[in-house]
Amino acid sequence: FAGAQVSLPLLLISVLLVHSSVLSCRIGTQTECDAAPFVPGHDLVGPGFDIVRQHRKADVIDVKTYLRPSKTCVVCNNPFQNHALQKLPTSVLDWSTSSQCSDDIHKVMISWLIPEFEKLDMGATRSKAYRFASKRSKEDRYTFSTHSVTCSHYDFMVSITPPLTLKFKKRLDLLPTHYNSSTKNEFRKLIDIYGTHYARQVNLGGRLRRLITLRSCLASMNGLKSNEIETCLSMGVAVGLGKMKISSVPDSCIGVLKNKDSATNFRSGLHQHFTEVSGGNGWLGKFSIFQNDSMGYMNWLKSLKEHPDVVSYSLRPLYRLMPNELQKAAVKAAIWQYLKDTGVKKPPEEPQCDDKTPNVASNCCPLHTSWGNLSVTIVQAWKLYGDVVGVTDRWVAKMRGKQFYFLYYLNNLVDTSHQLLIEVWDEDSSKSDDLLVQCVMYLMPGSYTFTCSSYLGHLLFKFTLTCDPYLTGEKCIVYKPSPLVTGD
């Protein structure tokens, strides 16, 4: 944990920041400093940050002071605002501008929303995106991906030993020097107010990020792989943002963009999404993926230089700002305990299956509907006629040309759309076999007992049909959302 730099936010894997050369900045007089506005987003450097909740907290770094003891400050020309003269806080060492925008859509397949913080199994367990995905994962088995567009315009570098806010310093003055069970609550209050980390470097601009949750097994039953659906959705995002024409989207993707489940007609569809927008004019990130709906997006892009927000941090743990070694050790222990108490558990591993089991895909999801496991048990047979001295010796279950020979019990995977035909035969080696009893049944999930009769005898039997996983309803054709079972 010590010395770790954590790049946030969690869901964006690619970092698109290539710095331009440091701008022509100079020392300004007090008159210039008092008159000049701060550079855009200067106050975003100051807050602490809670990596569990993914929230900015109260200011720990002073971003209001701009005059040095010499009554001067650093002023720079902002090329994005008509080269206006703007000032820097004393806590900022370097400030630069760049115009780096990712016009393409980034696809990152992730099985869960757990970032790796220097190999810590901790994550943003209370961020909105995590809560959305966590709720979905309790409902069904999902895979996750993000589609993001990022623009970076400003880059701040904070001093190694930045000046602290007066309120934060007063809080530290009241903080105990040791962390233990009796002082735990006081340290937790510090974390609740100021977070777990602070920013060493901040990149400002804007980001549109859409988290996609895809029903893994429903996709399999539609004959689609996760990566195929992600490709289709990427095209849909590109269409909505005006970067691609709908006519260029292949026909195989149209059903995906319409969120249509053709296998079971599941009304919630194949996928859901959660959108986050940072920076800009307040655009909510809503757009169609079936037609050009880019006006809001284009206006948002234009507003980012005037109203930037954080698109990535380089963070350092809060304990580094402590005034002495005892408090550093105490706050470090408190942060560790906080992460341990609130960190996310490791998710269950995605199952893998071979291709030898009927109707099972490599991800252990059903390939088709109308499949289940059928067991047939002969309970009793009486008054069966056949050979005078022989015995009834063949029971046959038939389903669409397939014959299953058994003695008294049968257990097999079957296609539930077909009828079950039970026959009782008396074999005769010297002449033709005798069909004694024949029953035709329509299959449905559950356990049932039936009696069949003919003038050659009577048969009592029981059958049980269990739908394959993720299937339910009559004939096992209804999709049944089921979360991935954990080991807990």
Could you please report the per-residue DSSP string of 426-488?
E--SSS--EEEEEEEE---SEEEEEEEEETTEEEEEEEEEEEPTTEESGGG-EE---PPPP--
- Looking at the chain, the whole-number percentage of residues with pLDDT higher than 90 is 57
The amino acid present at 40, given as its one-letter code, is P
Mean pLDDT of the chain, nearest integer: 84
The dihedral built from the CA positions of residue 87, 89, 90 and 93, taken in this order, carries a sign that is: negative
Q: Of the ranges 61-65, 220-224, 296-300, 356-360, which one carries the lowest mean pLDDT score? A: 356-360
Report the pLDDT value the prediction gives residue 390, as an integer from 0 to 100: 47
Q: CA 112 to CA 135: how far, in whole Å?
A: 12
Burial of 163: CB neighbours in 10 Å, binned 0-12, 13-18, 19+: middle
Size (the chain), residues: 488
Planar angle of CA 290, 13, 349, nearest 5 degrees: 90
- In the predicted structure, residue 7 carries a pLDDT above the cut 60: no
Which residues sit opposite 26 in a β-bridge? 75
Q: What is the pLDDT of residue 100?
A: 87
pLDDT category of residue 6 using cuts at 50, 70 and 90: very low
Q: Is residue 12 scored above 70 in pLDDT?
A: no
pLDDT of residue 412: 82
| 202 alpha carbon, distance to own chain's centre | 25
**Which pLDDT band, with edges at 50, 70 and 90, does 340 fall under?**
confident
**pLDDT tens-digit profile of 175-214?**
999 999 999 999 999 999 999 999 999 999 999 989 888 9
d(CA 124, CA 50): 9
Q: Average of pLDDT values for 51-77? A: 94
Span of 30-39, 100-109, 167-176, 230-239 with lowest mean pLDDT: 100-109
What CA–CA distances, in Å, run from 83 to 182, 371, 372?
A: 55, 69, 70
State yes or no: pLDDT of 445 exceeds 90.
yes
| Separation CA 472–CA 266 (nearest Å) | 12
Q: What Å distances lie between residue 265 and 350, 410, 477, CA to CA?
A: 25, 32, 9
pLDDT band for position 386 (cuts 50, 70, 90) = low
Backbone dihedral angles phi then psi of residue 432, each to the nearest 5 degrees: -65, 150
Question: Model confidence at 14, in pLDDT bands (50, 70, 90)?
Answer: very low
Residue 21, pLDDT > 80, answer no
pLDDT number for residue 488: 45
Residue 85 reports pLDDT greater than 90: yes
9 upstream amide cis, omega within 30 of 0: yes
Whether residue 402 is predicted with pLDDT greater than 80 in this model: the reply is no
Local confidence band at 3 (pLDDT 50, 70, 90 cut-offs):
very low
What per-residue confidence (pLDDT) applies to 424?
85
Residue 37 has pLDDT above 90, yes or no: yes
Please compute the mean of the pLDDT values over residues 293-312 and round it to a whole number: 94
What is the separation of C-alpha 414 from the centre of its chain, rounded to a whole number of angstroms? 35
pLDDT class for 392, splitting at 50, 70, 90? Answer: low
- The pLDDT score that the predictor gives to residue 432 is 72
Instruction: Report whether pLDDT(40) > 80.
Output: yes
Q: Flag whether pLDDT at 467 surpasses 90.
A: yes
Work out the average pLDDT over 34-51.
Answer: 94
- The whole-number average pLDDT for the span 267-276 is 92
Instruction: Kindly report the three-state secondary structure assignment for every residue of 158-181.
Output: ECCCCCECHHHHHHHHCCCCCCCC
Task: Taking residues 412-438, report their average pLDDT.
Answer: 81
Judge whether residue 18 has pLDDT over 60. no
Q: Which two tokens stand for residue 247?
A: 């006519």
Q: Which domains does the chain have, with CATH numbers?
A: 6-342 (no CATH), 371-479 (2.60.40.150)
Mean pLDDT over 75-95 rounds to 94
Comparing CA positions, the residue from 45, 150, 43, 39 lying closest to residue 97 is 39
Mean pLDDT of 411-417: 85
Of 5-19, 51-65, 316-330, which range is least confident? Answer: 5-19
User: In a 3-state reduction of DSSP, which class is residue 272?
Assistant: strand
C-alpha count within 13 angstroms, C-beta hemisphere, residue 250: 8
Provide the sign of the torsion angle of the four alpha carbons 278, 281, 285, 290, taken in this order. negative
Q: Is the pLDDT of residue 371 over 60?
A: yes
Beta strands in 327-406 (DSSP E): 371-382, 394-399, 402-406
Ranking 181-190, 255-264, 408-417, 436-445 by mean pLDDT, the lowest is 408-417
CA distance 462 to 468: 20
State the DSSP code for 476.
Answer: G
- Say whether pLDDT at 291 is over 90: yes
Q: Is the dihedral of CA 118, 123, 127, 131 positive or negative?
A: positive
Q: Are 220 and 366 in contact (CB under 8 A)?
A: yes
